[in-house]
Copies of this chain bind each other. A is one copy, B any other.
Amino acid sequence: MANDKKMVSQITSMDEDFVQWYTDIVTKADLVDYSSVKGCMIIRPYGYAIWENIQAILDKKFKELGHENVYMPMFIPESLLQREKDHVEGFAPECAWVTHGGSEPLAEKLCVRPTSETLFCEHYANIIRSWRDLPKLYNQWCNVVRWEKNTRPFLRTREFLWQEGHTMHATAEEAEAETVRMLEVYAEMYEKYLALPVVRGRKTEKEKFAGALATYTVEAMMHDGKALQGATSHNFGDGFARAFDVKYLDKNNQLQYCHQTSWGFTTRSIGALIMAHGDNNGLVLPPAIAPIQVIVIPVQQHKEGVLEKAHEVTAKINQFVRAKIDDSDNTPGWKFAEYEMKGVPVRLELGPKDIANNQCVLVRRDNRQKYFVSLDNLETEIPKVLEELNTALYNNALERRAAMTYTVETLDEMIETAKTKPGFIRAMWCGDLECELKLKEVADVSSRCMPFGEEPCGDKCVCCGKPAKKLVYWGKSY
């Protein structure tokens, strides 16, 4: 609907109906639209601009670390996908298959890539000869497809956008170091730029990526206490290398298999942002990725000089922040609501009285705190307010997570906690798949990760009581 004509409608309260609240935000903040393509979404300009900001931060970081961008075909012949057994078992059930080109049936059906390990391996086998060629650090930005049954914008869509890094290394140690290094890049992306604390850890065998030796993850907590897997990084060992014959001559002129990693960050992260920072007035965006960081709203704009000054201020602050002015005929009240819905971090109000006093009012999106600031000090004051907001978002999310994380020792406690208290549940685990499956059955929780660097909280498995091997974060998840 036309921006300047639509009503800023109320959204469903998150306490009343979290799912509807989420759906209201993604549509009313103009992030997505639905189309006639079931399970796929249209990412609208405001949503896509968030993704472009995320891309710019990650892409710069990848390149600083020596990664190079490439582009692989998006089709994978069935026979290529089948070369690594665990992998095809994991992905075949959710592949979209191209069977016809024009009116003719294809000799071999093609899978629309759900992920590209197989293609990268085939290419690496072509171009890697010696230890001098290693490491190979490739990344690609692209779309992928997984034929999901139940879909929701950003969180789970049949097509989504992501980057997938695929690297080859001479040794197991180097591959492991890369896997951990890239997980930390993702953790930094969440914590520093998306203002969202994450638990870093390793996935269990059951939850790891199809074909991987080990999968590491960053897990974030949403408003409703559910976990969202933020991004993952996989160490493949030499499993794929053996299946695809990716070998190199080492310094002693011996043929060795390469060791491989992959890691991905998706448009899902935008869903995480919404569900972690949003409130009952709409979206709340961390400044680093906000398409508009400051919205300038003239007050009593028909009065002489107001619009001129507001445009002048906008041009001035555009030198150091992403600012926009709304000089439409809508009322200031309408505009306030509109840009709160869109999660713009700071609103700058400027009316005749402010101009007379050579000042303006900055209003923070998260708590509506007001700052009366001299027009001469905007270059120092605006970044300060943005930083304060960013810190507050992070700290609120951290406090919420702390308040909603429970430690349990017995199966009864686990069942009771899972039933009554949304959040993360820390509990020891013996390492057996049976206990993991049983916890899913009786408490409806899955293992989120085995966290890095946390002390054990006991010595017995929460499920079977046998000696425990690992501390695990359990929870319900998106």
Contact = CB atoms under 8 A, between A and B. Distances in A.
Interface string A77-121: 101100000000000111111111111000001101000000100
A184 B182 CA distance: 42
A128 to B, nearest CB: 8
A35 interface: yes
Contacts of A2: 129-130, 132-133
A34 to B, nearest CB: 8
A31 to B, nearest CB: 11
A77 B43 CA distance: 18
B96 A101 contact: yes
B159 A75 contact: yes
Contacts of A98: 96-99, 112
B4 A132 contact: yes
Contacts of A75: 37, 40, 96, 159
A187 to B, nearest CB: 26
B70 A143 contact: no
B93 A71 contact: no
Given A2-B129, A33-B123, A71 B48 contact: yes
Contacts of A96: 75, 98, 100-101, 110
- Among A101, A109, A142, chain B packs the most CB atoms within 10 A around the CB of A101
Contact of A68 (B33, B42, B45): B45
Given A45-B138, A99-B97, A100-B99, A35 B130 contact: no
A129 B35 contact: no
Contacts of A193: none
A172 interface: no
Contacts of A40: 73-75
Contacts of A100: 96-97, 99, 109
Given A68-B45, A98-B97, A112-B112, A74 B159 contact: yes
Interface string A127-151: 1011011000010001101010000
B5 A76 contact: no
A112 B48 CA distance: 21
A141 to B, nearest CB: 9
- Among A36, A79, A158, chain B packs the most CB atoms within 10 A around the CB of A36
Nearest to A6: B129
Given A45-B70, A70-B42, A37 B99 contact: no
Interface string A32-62: 0101110011111100110110000000000
Contacts of A145: 74
Nearest to A1: B129
A323 to B, nearest CB: 15
- Among A3, A71, A119, A133, chain B packs the most CB atoms within 10 A around the CB of A71
A269 to B, nearest CB: 15
B101 A147 contact: yes
Given A96-B98, A143-B142, A159 B112 contact: no
Contacts of A158: 101
A69 interface: yes
Contacts of A49: 68-69
A243 interface: no
A93 B97 contact: no
Contact of A73 (B35, B48, B80, B109): B35
Nearest to A69: B48
10 contacts: A33-B127, A35-B123, A40-B75, A42-B119, A45-B70, A45-B138, A96-B98, A96-B110, A97-B101, A143-B143
Ranked 10 nearest A-B pairs via Cβ: A40-B73, A45-B68, A101-B147, A43-B71, A97-B100, A37-B73, A99-B99, A2-B133, A2-B130, A2-B132
